[in-house]
Amino acid sequence: MTKRQLGQNLTVSSIGLGIMGMDHAYGAPKDRQDMTRLIHQAFDLGCYFFDTAPVYGEANEILLGQAIKGHPEAVVATKFGITAMTAGGGVIKQEFDSKPESIKEQVENSLRRLGIECIDLYYQHRIDPDVEPEDVADTMAQLIKEGKIKHWGTSNAPIDYVRRAHAVTPLTAIENQYSMVYRRPEREMFSVCEELGIGFVAYSPLGNGFLSGKYNAQTQFEDGDFRQTMGRFKAEVMEKTRFC
């Protein structure tokens, strides 16, 4: 597999493996042994860039941490900033906390669950409207100095926020949704990344499975699968956009 450079000096496999769906958003948690085998298969195929987050369930970080033991080449990305997530009636409610003291507690918990001493890439999962980007970036600089993280990034942050944060502690990567059915980053974010020397990491590159050709208008998603409420998976949309 080819490699890519994010930011100034983080090298990753060009394809990464997201761990989220093994516990969160796509139905019931998956079998631990099956998922461990899947992660090991990723290594065999040359993929060593992995992405998780505490809000996917603490078991998600634990699963990844256990699966990468004995694989020093693994590049681990996890996140901070969303401290709780609840769903009801098709609405997902998120609780944000990026206060410096909270971040320091969050990183320690992630390190413990992952069983590692340093996180390769630490994303702010969502911005906290009550905390300035400069304060978050300054906290990231402290964590880098302490050896708790190597790089940091943002996920779904506004461009002005990215610029302000980057001016304090340079961002290595921006993680946003991007696929052939969601191309919004092409409007401005790509050019900002090129201008500032920030890497772009696409999540949901297959449109949550929409582009896989696996699903159609008759597909029934299991309870706990958030695609039940996603517009692109409505039967009438699937019928109009089905693959030939």
**Which pLDDT tens digit goes with each residue over 68-106?**
999 999 999 999 999 987 766 556 788 999 999 999 999
Collect all residues with Cβ–Cβ distance below 8 Å to 61 and sequence separation of at least 6: 52, 53, 54, 78, 110, 113, 114
Position 244 scores a pLDDT of 41
* Sole residue written with tokens 């499975």: 209
Active site residue 123: no
Position 114 scores a pLDDT of 98
The string of DSSP letters for 112-136 reads HHHT-S-EEEEEESS--TTS-HHHH
The catalytic position among 48, 56, 123, 178 is 56
Q: Is residue 223 predicted with pLDDT exceeding 60?
A: yes
What burial letters (b/e) apply to 49-85, b meaning 16+ CB within 10 Å?
Answer: bbbbbbbbbeebbbbbbebbeeeeebbbbbbbbbbeb
The per-residue pLDDT for range 179-200, each reduced to its tens digit, is 998 999 999 999 999 999 999 9
CATH fold of 3-205 reads TIM Barrel (3.20.20)
Euclidean distance between CA atoms 112 and 117, whole angstroms: 8
Confirm if 123 and 82 have CB atoms less than 8 A apart.
Answer: no
Beta strands in 97-240 (DSSP E): 119-124, 149-155, 173-177, 199-203
Of 178, 181, 233, residue with least CA distance to 203:
178
Give 17's strand partners: 50
Position 243 scores a pLDDT of 54
The per-residue pLDDT for range 152-165, each reduced to its tens digit, is 999 999 999 999 99
Q: Across the chain, what does the average pLDDT equal? A: 93
> Would you kindly state where each structural domain of the chain is located, as residue ranges?
3-205, 206-244
The per-residue pLDDT for range 116-148, each reduced to its tens digit, is 999 999 999 999 999 999 999 999 999 999 999
Confirm if 22 and 63 have CB atoms less than 8 A apart.
Answer: yes
